Structure 1
């Protein structure tokens, strides 16, 4: 089971709550929620590694990621403004590796609840 540690309070901010759910879904491998939460033309740019374009490519990537089990997600910060948002924290893997991350999200519109793009910066710590 994946431990979730939140050092942030989403309070009454729907987009912050949505980004929290996105991060938890990634940590728990909840592909269905993730695929429902993105546009068909989603672009996920993992800086220095790869760029995934389109919902079908994302589906394939999520299948590949299932082999990597997360033991803990520490979510430190979530920011949102208009059609943009960001989150940062640490992911601890079951294999003992730990990664710090910062993700930047672009929604399909200011009031939308679907992601158009994600840009991820990930470093092993």
Structure 2
């Protein structure tokens, strides 16, 4: 997968963690990603019902794994206290392009485990 990261994460451990998690999710490296999530993590894909727990979270990701990202661009990552946000876009194997924004809540200010993720995903219109 081609990576385009337009933000610096130097000296910012939470930014680095969010960047790494985003790359793991885009690559569907689920076993690696799960180590950073609380057991009762809540994932809300806006427009769908929340997914609660690591196992349902992993299962939902596996359902999407048939169409892997071929390119991931990260535009920005912002962190403050127990919260973080990231936005960017992904080019999928089938050629579709999705813009995304994910909002994270950590279990503590230290930011080692994720309590919840709220994801906004929009398919970009292909120009002719």
CA RMSD of aligned residues (A): 0.9
1:50 CA displacement: 3.5
Q: What's 2:71 paired with?
A: 72
Q: What's 1:39 paired with?
A: 38
User: Are 1:109 and 2:128 an aligned pair?
Assistant: no
Question: For 2:63, what is the secondary structure of its paired residue?
Answer: helix
Measured in 2, the distance between the counterparts of 1:56 and 1:11 equals 32
Question: For 1:104, what is the secondary structure of its paired residue?
Answer: strand
TM-score calculated relative to the size of structure 1: 0.95
Measured in 2, the distance between the counterparts of 1:68 and 1:53 equals 23
Q: What's 1:10 paired with?
A: 9
Question: For 2:58, what is the secondary structure of its paired residue?
Answer: helix
Measured in 1, the distance between the counterparts of 2:95 and 2:67 equals 11
1:66 CA displacement: 1.4
* Structure 2: gaps (5+ residues): none
**Paired positions, count:** 124
Measured in 2, the distance between the counterparts of 1:20 and 1:50 equals 25
Measured in 1, the distance between the counterparts of 2:77 and 2:111 equals 17
Contact 2:14 2:111 in 1 (8 A): no
TM-score calculated relative to the size of structure 2: 0.93
* Structure 1: gaps (5+ residues): none
Q: What stretches of structure 1 move > 4 A for 4+ residues in a row?
A: none
Measured in 1, the distance between the counterparts of 2:79 and 2:118 equals 15
1:39 CA displacement: 0.2
